[in-house]
Structure 1
Amino acid sequence: YGCFDKCSSLTSINIDNLQFISQERIFINEPVLVSIKIPDNLQIINGKNIFKKDINEFIIPSSITKLGDRCFSKCSSLKSINIPSSITKLGKCCFYECSTLTSINIPSSINELGDCCFYECLSLTSINIPSSINELGDDCFRYCESLKSINIPSSITKLGYCCFYGCTSLTSITIPSSIIEIGECCFYGCYLLKSINIPSSITSFGNCCFYECGCEEELMKNKRIPRKCFE
């Protein structure tokens, strides 16, 4: 736990012959550490490992198959990251509050985005979701205030609770006919969202899912959408 805690002059690190990073925080208060290179034989980055605000580069080797819960939580200087195709899952809160993250690739090997995966990634402007994903978790893109566009592939059947809550720059979105459920508060506070389609496949609408949404008035004309969606 905290094995590199408060190494105030450490600027970079290269770790060899390591197979597992523990569930506890190992990089916490190294004020000048900006680059981490981890070994090619590591398989899992698990738990709250990189709890570090100043990391701006992190090289993920192709041996990694999973990024665990809160893996890069609060890495507020992380601007971009390349996810290798060996990874199949992004854990809960994986990039939570990575406030300067502007872009990220999600390879088609990924089949699950954990809850709060990109919560409060304030600088993320766009993201491409591969067809391997079948569900967007709760709070997945909550408070992604710079997110202007996002593709939702036809593989997805559900938009989770507060999925796009507070995405104040989102202007339009196309919901595929594969979607059967829109979660509670899904588009809450998406003030600039002026265009959204509601396919007939949707049978479940969560409370407040369109509350204070830019196209709220237009959506109210759709008799299929319950009143609870707007209050």
Structure 2
Amino acid sequence: MNEPVLISFEIPENLQIINGKNIENKDINKFIIPSSITKLGYDCFKECTSLISINIPSSINEIGNDCFYKCSSLKSINIPSSINELGDACFYKCKSLTSVTIPSSITKLGICCFRRCKSLQSINIPSSITSFGDGCFDGCTSLTSINIPSSITKLGICCFRRCKSLQSINIPSSISKLRDESFYECSSSKSINIPSSITSFGKSCFYKCGCKEELKKNKRIPRNCFEWW
């Protein structure tokens, strides 16, 4: 099998922000980002399907919405501690991404941030993060475990929907509400602890969960949590 042709693109140093308008060739597989860049904007590397890895300089403080959307060959990425937020659908459908380490500078994971990252097996969540956006890990079918630190106060709608390999889930007492379809079709789940802090349960939040029979013993959980809408 022939090696893929290296197509390199050096981003001009006179820019501070780059977005999808700056990168038209979606076959580029290597980007050289100068330290003059402070933001990776909206759609920046969207659908650059040949991109395997990228080095993000510490001059960058923000990764915008849809930045690596459908970068299906992306296997690794460094997220420097200069970044404080990952935008909506930032890594949506990066189906080759296997692991991510999030620095403690990050405070928020946007809507659908890692949605349908089907090869993602592990992710480190620092205690600096306070919320997971709606659909944040939806469809991460290879994710076997995840730490939810006590700093988290909100799990978005469909947050762990269809995480079919997730086995044990520890929900911290900092969370008071489970939203609709939170753990929908977590079919390999063996245990989900429900702290007394949770006073509200969304519809279908445990639909087709592997441990649903054990959860049904908890009389605080409404029956519609186990049923489809």
Q: Give TM-score scaled by structure 2 length.
A: 0.82
CA contact (8 A) 1:210 1:230 kept: yes
Q: Percent identity?
A: 65
Deviations 1:4-44 (A, max 9, x none): xxxxxxxxxxxxxxxxxxxxxxxxxxxx8821112333211
Deviations 1:132-154 (A, max 9, x none): 11111000000000000001100
Other-structure match for 2:173: 200
**1:226 aligned onto 2:201:** yes
Q: 1:51 to 1:188 in 2, by over 3 A?
A: farther
Q: Which runs of 5+ in 1 are unaligned?
A: 1-31
- TM superposition shift of 1:216: 4.7
- Aligned residue identity for 2:175: I
> Aligned ranges for residues 50-199 of structure 1 at < 5 Å?
50-199=23-172
Compute the RMSD of aligned alpha carbons: 1.9
Q: 1:177 to 1:194 in 2, by over 3 A?
A: same
Question: 1:171 and 1:147 mapped to 2: Cα distance?
Answer: 9
Other-structure match for 1:11: none
Deviations 1:56-104 (A, max 9, x none): 1001011100011000000000000000000010010000000000000
- Residue correspondences, number: 200
Q: 1:227 to 1:71 in 2, by over 3 A?
A: closer
CA contact (8 A) 1:110 1:132 kept: yes
CA contact (8 A) 1:58 1:81 kept: yes
Q: Which runs of 5+ in 2 are unaligned?
A: 208-229
Q: 1:68 to 1:170 in 2, by over 3 A?
A: same
Question: 1:89 and 1:37 mapped to 2: Cα distance?
Answer: 20
Question: 1:207 and 1:184 mapped to 2: Cα distance?
Answer: 5
Question: 2:100 and 2:39 mapped to 1: Cα distance?
Answer: 20
Q: Give TM-score scaled by structure 1 length.
A: 0.81
Structure 1 residue ranges (4+ consecutive) displaced by more than 6 angstroms after TM superposition: 220-223
